[in-house]
Amino acid sequence: MSLDRRQFLAGGALLASALMPLDRSRAQTAWTVLGQPVASVPWLRDVRRVIIDTDPGTDDLLAIIMMLGSTRITTEAITVTPGNIGYEQEVRNTLFLVQTLKNGTIPVHRGIDHPLLGRSYPAAGFIHGRYGFGDMVVPEVALKPAPDHAALAISRIVSAHPGEVVLLALGGLSNIALALLLDPSIARKARGIVIVGGRYEGIGTSVSFNAMVDPEAADIVLRSGLPIAMTGSLGETEMLTQADFDQIATFGTAKSALFLKSNAERLKFETEKRHKPGATYADPFAATMVLEPSVALQFEAVHVAVELSGTETRGSYVFGGTHIYTGDALPANVAICTRASHEIFRDTVFQALRA
């Protein structure tokens, strides 16, 4: 199913009702329900088609290299969403990557260039650098964006391949939420969505940059009925250390050189300013969940909501809600990866950068 411009504009009328507060009968008052262990997420097995929704910073760059290098999975399109840096630079970065890695053969779609309600959100240049790829100046390329809006492209592609397309959500969820508002049927037509989440350590709240970008969009996606898998708090499992960077430097490929040039400052920031043993790569880990699902050793099924009103907590995920009147657990809507193989993650990254 494709949407014409009239339907696209009419979708805006749905936004107000979609963002109405939940009925108080389902409001959350306590976070008392731990997630239930789940061994695997069946729809992550044997994925053949993806749409990458991205806000290209340093970690997105690596995830895109990994996905576009796959010989098994077809990237149907890349859509650009609000997130890490200024939107026009994000578009420029995406076009550069697709031109460089795939000779411009994958369509790049501009999406909404701001959160659904137009509210400001924190910039992430402190870790991604001035241009999104560290201090690397990204050149303009011949490739231009495809003509249709990202939300329309998502609806069209998912509807053309029901049950096949995984949405790999690496940034704010504005485009995907807008696609759901315009065409709610994609919630049951998509194979599923992999979201880069926040720190999950059981019940309570946790900050997630991607949810902070557009909390209303995250709320729409979480309540849509889409099958959702989310990255959790995996610590060193999803890190690359200085030793890993040194190993990558021996590969001598164009991809490894691009990664090292764009990510050197990220490693320095995380080790020197955050005192971590390496740089964290949640976006590439999400890509690995699609490319090599055996990387995920354990999931927890849990109810996840997003805080829309808090002065200091707006955009935080809320894990483990209960019914306000009965105390019963709200049904799980997300499978969160809570344990994973660092070796499979690192090997998948290395394989992509060696090519």
User: Cα torsion for 272, 269, 193, 332, to the nearest 10°?
Assistant: 40
Counted domains in the chain: 1
Structure token digits, residue 75:
């990237």
199 is in which domain, residue-wise? 27-354
Report how far residue 173's alpha carbon sits from residue 306's, in angstroms, rounded to the nearest whole number. 12
Q: What is the pLDDT of residue 7?
A: 54
- Set 53, 55, 60, 214: catalytic member: 55
Q: Are 186 and 179 in contact (CB under 8 A)?
A: yes
User: For the domain that residue 74 is a member of, what is the CATH number?
Assistant: 3.90.245.10
Question: In the prediction, which pLDDT does 6 show?
Answer: 53
In whole angstroms, give the CA distance from residue 323 to residue 326.
Answer: 6
> What are the pLDDT digits (tens) for 67-109?
999 999 999 999 999 999 999 999 999 999 999 999 999 999 9
Let me know if residue 17 belongs to a domain: no
Residue 3 lies in a domain: no
Q: Is 214 a catalytic residue?
A: no
Tell me if 319 is assigned to some domain.
yes
Determine, yes or no, domain membership for 19: no
Whole-model pTM: value is 0.91
Residue 300 lies in a domain: yes
Domain assignment present for residue 53? The answer is yes
- In sequence order, the β-bridge partners of residue 278 are 241
pLDDT digits (tens, 9 = 90+) for 128-140: 988 999 989 999 9
Residue 10 lies in a domain: no
**What per-residue string of b and e applies to 174-189 under the rule 16 or more CB within 10 Å gives b?**
bbbbbbbbbbbebbeb
pLDDT per residue rounded down to tens, the chain (355 residues): 445 555 554 555 455 455 544 443 444 444 455 678 998 899 999 999 999 999 999 999 999 999 999 999 999 999 999 999 999 999 999 999 999 999 999 999 999 999 999 998 877 888 898 899 998 999 999 999 999 999 999 999 999 999 999 999 999 999 999 999 999 999 999 999 999 987 776 666 677 899 999 999 999 999 999 999 999 878 899 999 999 999 999 999 999 999 999 999 999 999 999 999 999 999 999 999 999 999 999 999 999 999 998 888 899 998 887 666 666 778 899 999 999 999 999 999 999 999 9
CA 318 to chain centre: 18
Confidence (pLDDT) at 1: 44
Residue 7 domain-assigned? no
